[in-house]
Structure 1
Amino acid sequence: MGIGLVDPILPALATQLHAGHTQVELLFTSYLVVTAVAMLVTGWMSSRIGAKRTLVIGLALIAVFAVAAALAGRIGGIVGFRVGWGLGNALFIATSLAVIVGSASGGFGGAIVLYETALGVGIASGPLLGGLLGTIISWPGPFFGVSALMLIALVATLVFVDRTPTPAEPSRLSEPLTALRHRSLRTTSLVGLLYNWVFFTLLGYAPFLMNLSALRLGAVFFAWGVLVAIFAVLGATWLKGRFGTARTRSTAA
């Protein structure tokens, strides 16, 4: 939910803080670039302090920097605090998927579907809540909303996620890059790069083109996220079983 919560208030943010579209888009650029780079070291860190501690640190960082962004008052400060937000996001996202895969009773495939479904539901409900908070409280509202959600997730992780032991042999920093020697993984990573590039271009810039209120923008992205969740659970599974993974991915692209 935290990924899309601030999306509906981007036009209002630009207007109220007298910022250009390029400056506002740096909210996504700084956040995502740091997330991408930091993900290269999350496995190394998790293998030394344990997955649960890594999750907790990531959630705490997001909660703190989301509040700091809400209190910044200037676009430059918000962009800067999004850097710390992106670091927390990297620690959480990469580690949470590993924990879900390791804990799921439905097997590896079921765990991935569960993860993608949660992502779709979050993308759906996040912008809707962000639009509501942006309408009621103005632009800082969604940032405070992100912090509150991350605190709830932090408590849930502490209470419900079992303590994960550290591996006998810690990961090396070079492992994510040396893994790219595998051709299929390298190709899939490149496809993922292009897909996410397009996805966040639409997510980040579309609000400026639709000329809608924050609440209506939230409703648009809510409908989009609902479809993501539905097709992640039903459509993707059925198409993969009928046509195979490669053909399904090619048709979707």
Structure 2
Amino acid sequence: MTNQAVAAPDKLDAAVLKIAGVVVLGAIMSILDVTVVSVALPTFQTTFHATYAQVAWTMTGYSLALATVIPLSGWAADRFGTKRLYMLALLLFTLGSALCATADSIGQLIGYRVVQGLGGGMLMPLGMTIMTRAAGPERIGRLMAVLGIPMLLGPIGGPILGGWLIDAASWHWIFLINVPIGAIALVYALVALPRDTPEPSESFDFVGMLMLSPGLALFLYGVSSLPETGTITATKVWVPMLTGAVLVIGFVLYSFKPRHPLLDLRLFRNRNLTVASISLFVFIIAFMGAGLLFPSYFLQVRGESTLHAGLLMAPQGIGAMLTMPIAGALADKIPVGRTVPFAMALIAAGFFTFTQVGTDTSYWLLCGSLFVMGLGMGGAMMPIMTSALRTLTSHEVARGSTLTNILQQIGGSVGAAIMSVILTSRLNGSAPIPGLKDPRTGAPVTEADAAIAHQHGVRLPLPASVIQRGLDFVAHSFATTFWVGFALVLATFIPIAFLPRKRKRSPLLDDPAGDGGDRAGAPAMIH
């Protein structure tokens, strides 16, 4: 069995692709759900008579659940086996989706999204572990290109699917559609994944869990409350942030003591993993944070429908679709330090256009820029992930993928909060309209508020000049926010300069079982 893994063919064979199908199906559900919900936020505001800050918690609650459960996935995969745990994650995600469709208040929807997140948080790290063990070290680049399929379908299909379902049916269907897909994925996983043969020997790190999971959740809760409060001095922000930070720092200091910590920070002794993780973290803060604002620009400044906003985002995914398979193949042959900088240069070039957006910026220019960014995304993200995992032993892969997924989750939450705070603070600087107040809150209506409402079909008795002035202000606010994202993209060039520029032999080839035949290293996915 081990020899099969070592002597694996250069191309991904049918056995590996069958297993990859299970993982990709689960990842598609998880990633699509994030992008689908992002275009549904204005609909939630109208349906539940809620503010933007309130409906944003439908995404934040999901993120908090992910942050809580991801640290457990590495230990649980060793303890219970990847097949059982993956099927449990699929079941939780599908059940959470069905519950979301029944929500009749914003509070219920947020709560059900947490259930969804508990399942979704395990799908990606477990999927990466399953596929990495299946393909072997010399095919990780090609493997990551396959795993990148849902990352392509997310930006392409999510906003389009979400917009179409909301326009053609109702918001309930953005969740209900996961139910049949989840049922198919469960049956597929039952048939395609080999039986688990876990031999648990590691004790569970309860002390670490009591510090890390609540610490991450509290810290991200405080960060995610920033857009709502607009200031870091608010009790709702700094108290959970500080408490969470203390718990996380406590965990970091403690984690080097137990033999089997909940999160193995000793892996950061691996230079490749450390450099790739820092590169990925900075990139996610910049790109995922600003990426959530791209559809918002089309919705709020240009007055597009959710379906049209989704279609306008499609070029980004199409660009990534073209370069990701090429980048995956190259990552197995050429050191990523020689290719990723070129991909990042494409992202920076495309991103710069959005720092110049106005109320009538050419759609050809914007879509072309998204396409160029997509080309860069496809050439950067998977090779960085490949670099992170290639030099780990088989026993370390589950823990390594858990580390990278946590960093992605934290980076995405921090990036979204930073961009939201900047945009919100900019929009709050808009001039109030004398005598006009919001009937729900009693707060003065600003020119920016009136302009956004006008773009969504609410016709207020105001001069056209006021609406235009408000639109100009909103567009400029988006441009300012994108400047921050652009600066963060440029900052990513610092860590990627340290990515490996020479090929090194993977330790999996010398010790494919990891730790001299440890049970976690068994190529459980090869039949």
TM-score tier, shorter chain, comes to 0.7 to 0.9
State the Cα distance separating 1:159 from its structure 2 match. 2.0
Q: 1:246 corresponds to which residue?
A: 337
**CA deviation string 1:159-178 (max 9, x = no partner):** 22222322564483434333
- Pick one of 308, 325, 343 that aligns with 1:216: 308
Instruction: Select the residue among 30, 35, 39 that pairs with 2:66.
Output: 35
Report the secondary structure of 1:72's partner residue: coil
8 Å contact kept, 2:160–2:311: yes
Partner of 2:93: 62
Residue of structure 2 aligned with 1:129, choices 161, 164, 187: 161
The equivalent residue for 1:194 is 282
Residues 148, 36 of structure 1: CA spacing in aligned structure 2 closer, same or farther, 3 A cutoff?
same
Residue 407 of structure 2 is matched in structure 1 by none
Distance in 2, Cα, partners of 1:239 & 1:99: 20
Match of 2:81 in 1: 50
Larger radius of gyration: 2
Aligned residues: 252
Letter in 2 for 1:194: V
CA distance in 2, matches of 1:8, 1:146: 17
2:48 alignment counterpart: 17
For 2:148, what is the secondary structure of its paired residue? helix
**Percent identical residues:** 25
- For 2:264, what is the secondary structure of its paired residue? helix
Residue of structure 2 aligned with 1:207, choices 274, 278, 295: 295
Please say if residues 119 and 229 of structure 1, whose CA atoms lie closer than 8 Å, have aligned partners that are also in contact.
Answer: no
The CA deviation at 1:213 is 1.2
After superposition, give the CA deviation of every residue in 1:31-89 in whole Å (9 maximum; x if it has no partner): 12321332111010111111011111111111111121221122222122222211111
Q: How far is the alpha carbon of 1:236 from its aligned partner?
A: 6.0
| Structure 1 residue ranges without an equivalent (≥5) | none
CA distance in 2, matches of 1:96, 1:66: 20
Instruction: Please tell me the residue identity of whatever aligns with 1:185.
Output: L
Under a length normalisation based on structure 1, what TM-score does the superposition of the two structures give? 0.86
Structure 2: 5+ residue stretches without partners:
1-31, 204-259, 345-488, 490-527
**Which amino acid is 1:54 matched to?**
L
Give the match's secondary structure for 1:163: coil
Once structures 1 and 2 are overlaid, which stretch shifts more, 103-112 or 127-136? 103-112
Considering Cα pairs closer than 8 Å and 6+ residues apart, tell me whether 1 or 2 has the greater RCO.
Answer: 1
- Give the Å deviation of 1:235: 4.8
Distance between the aligned counterparts of 2:327 and 2:279, measured in 1? Answer: 20
Residue aligned with 2:314, SS: helix
Q: 2:145 aligns with which of 108, 113, 119?
A: 113
How big is each residue's C-alpha offset from its partner over 1:119-170, in whole Å with a ceiling of 9 and x where there is no partner? 2134422332222211122211101112332222222211222223225644
- Structure having the larger proportion of residues in helix: 1
Distance 2:332 2:78 in 1: 33
- State whether residues 4 and 126 of structure 1, in contact with CA within 8 Å, keep that contact through their aligned partners in structure 2: yes
Q: 2:325 aligns with which of 225, 233, 243?
A: 233
Q: Which amino acid aligns with 2:319?
A: L
- The alpha carbon displacement at 1:239 in A equals 8.3
Q: Give, as a single letter, the amino acid of the residue that structure 2 aligns with 1:99.
A: I
Q: 1:180 to 1:23 in 2, by over 3 A?
A: farther
Contact 1:124 1:224 (8 Å CA) reproduced: yes
CA distance in 2, matches of 1:6, 1:136: 16
The CA distance in 1 between the partners of 2:46 and 2:338, in whole Å, is 44
